[in-house]
Amino acid sequence: MPSSRVNPPLSSDLSDPSAIPYFLWDQPMTVAELRRVLATGTDDQRAYWLGKVLREARDTDVWCFTTPEQVAGLWPRITAHLGRRRPFWEFLFGLWRREGLIAR
């Protein structure tokens, strides 16, 4: 029997607070809800959701939700949530640290 569950439409419009971002396909939440948890969640909650954004969103879309400094501040907690994208982000943040663009 087919599931009667209807998945909400995903969006690439990350400026719409009511949109479900395309990269939250498996755990739908609105842009506003994501921004709220990134702003007010515990460090563990913020690390989980930042890891998900870094893992699933396009590289350029990541910066709609965070800054390099915020990611660097939670880096030890975020790395466990990066999956296959971990080497890319380790390379990028390592380069930025070496160049003095973010604090060590």
The answer to whether position 2 is within a domain reads: no
Confirm whether 49 is domain-assigned: yes
Is 26 inside a domain boundary? yes
pLDDT tens, residue by residue, 36-79:
999 999 999 999 999 999 999 999 999 999 999 999 999 999 99
**What is the total count of domains within the chain?**
1
Residue-averaged pLDDT of the chain: 93
| Cα–Cα distance measured from residue 34 to residue 21, given in angstroms and rounded to the nearest whole number | 9
Tokens of 98: 């070496």
The reported pLDDT for the residue numbered 8 is 77
The answer to whether residue 70 sits within a structural domain is: yes
Give the range of the structural domain holding residue 52, as residue numbers without chain letter.
Answer: 10-98
- Asked if residue 77 is part of any domain, the answer here is yes
